[in-house]
Structure 1
Amino acid sequence: MDRPGAVAELRAVVTRFARDHAAGLDRWCVALSGGPDSLALAAVAATAMPTTALIVDHGLQVGSAAVAADARDHALAVGCVDAQVLSVVVGSEGGPEAAARSARYRALDQARAGAPVLLAHTLDDQAETVLLGLGRGSGARSIAGMRSHDPPWFRPLLGVRRELTHRACAELGLAPWQDPHNVDRRFTRVRLRTEVLPLLEDVLGGGVAEALARTATALREDTEALDAMADRVLDGIGDGGLAVSVLTPLPGAVRRRVIRGWLLAGGAVGLTDTQIRAVDALVIAWRGQGGVAVPGATPRTRLFAGRRDEVLMLYREPV
């Protein structure tokens, strides 16, 4: 039997995803960069239901407005009912990649008008995300990868390789934009894609990207189960302090998730595994030590978690 074409394969993937996660919807959006992954996704998504393309112009490259205009033309040509160019200003917090991502997601969230947004992340992107998480060493959550269904963000292509979207564009006669940032070795993800993953594939005999994606799925399932256990504990805790007597009997993995949820509810942001474990030490290795500084969202103040007798408390000090 002949192998089905790439467009047919992608259409089947998106149709199954819509059946499983988008039942009852009458429209959706697709985040379109103009590259092969998002362009192929826009083409097949538009055959499933009315699709609006949302094109973010980061303004970081010369000619970015022309690239966005071309992406808009492509979107309408492949059947999208609308295509909007969203111009953003990219800050500097967290580095260029993180800042661009934050600006992009804010713009997409504001423009989606209540509809979910399809993102064109593939299995290759998932593998790269797992490797980045491993390098950061921030625990299972950082290597659990991306969810395929994380409303309002939908990732129907997480189970397919990048080469399939490239073949689909070729079948459709589309000339996608080739982002020069995707070959710029200044970016960590580019070096993972072009150097680290090929080396791992060679050393380990292939199948590494798929294995990393499977690992992400398994870890995400475990993480979600532990999160649910922690949420049940948090549901029984009122506002204010966190009793050590509640935390002490819990398994470490659950206890640290309770601490994380409590910190986030109290105004902490961007927590790392190291910070959470330092607060955990106030419970399991208490020797009268002082409070632990954690990142907070309130300007000109520092947020601390400390222990007073048998209760963990949050307090702030001016910078």
Structure 2
Amino acid sequence: MADAPFCSMDSPLPWISFYSDPQLAEFYFNRLRWHAKAGHILVSRQPVWRDGRGTVSAAMVHNTAPEIFERMTGLPYNLGLLLEMLNLTRESDIDMIASALRPGLDTSDVAAHAMRDWFADPDCKWSAIIDDSSVDDLRLEWATACSLWLQDKAWNGWAPLLERMRALLKPGNAMRAVQNTILDSLISLSPPPPPSAVGPWKTITLVRGVHSQFIVAQFAFGWRASDFAKETELFQWFTERASKEPGGIFTEATLRQAQEEWGRLPKDAEYITKEKYFFEHRDSALAPTIEQLRRIVKRHLRASPAALHYNRAQTFSPDVLK
């Protein structure tokens, strides 16, 4: 394998995918293909590696530590988290990503580009989903602002946009669940965090990002504001119920009691039918949204610029692969 510089989490240097080494890239993608063929790659809301099985970023390096992923691959951790959103579990999925993620690329902006395009994509029907012109106009303004920032990181027009987005948040209003979710996502991306900001990017991708995929899929299955509100109403009910417990916290016994109380309350039969039908068909329901995000990610991987190279003492060793 060729000697190449290592871009650490605090390094100011550009990221260099697989250190420009085709053999290193082949090693990792072959490893993923093997795990995919064996059924070892899992889908989860957080990176997982346990007993030889795990999510795609962890399966690549056999570890969940962000610094190990970055050191061993030359890729920023936010790209690893973005790949987790794509449900890459089959050999053909790995082949698809391998064809776009070539050695020697600077992939530091791929995740930011992808999230910008995801929330701007008309095929997701965001305008209809949001159903509020004030919020939807801010979504489009945010997309323009994000494009300007991606072109020039010195661009600094975020403050007035953030103020207006925060003013429209209504966290206590269950009927505004979708609008609040979208606004929270856009606020967390104003501007996008640095590529190695682990906590913020986990929230952007595996929490709010995955939630947004469900929103798009559920809307296509007929969900509307009153349906999306149910999850918030459930959370609010249990939060209020917990506040009546000593210290405001459930014990195992009082949580079971609260769950039984909730179970006895009248339910919306139409919503229960919708929810049951959606989750019975979850994989096929989510497939179009996941495929759409895959197309976006592939496009930006292929458009990634060649990384600049620097003469620097090598801190990566192939011995870590043994």
Same fold? TM cut 0.5 = no
Structure 2 length-normalised TM: 0.24
Counting helix residues as a fraction of each chain, which structure ranks higher?
Answer: 2
More relative contact order in 1 or in 2 (CA 8 Å, sep 6+)? 2
Larger strand proportion of the pair:
1
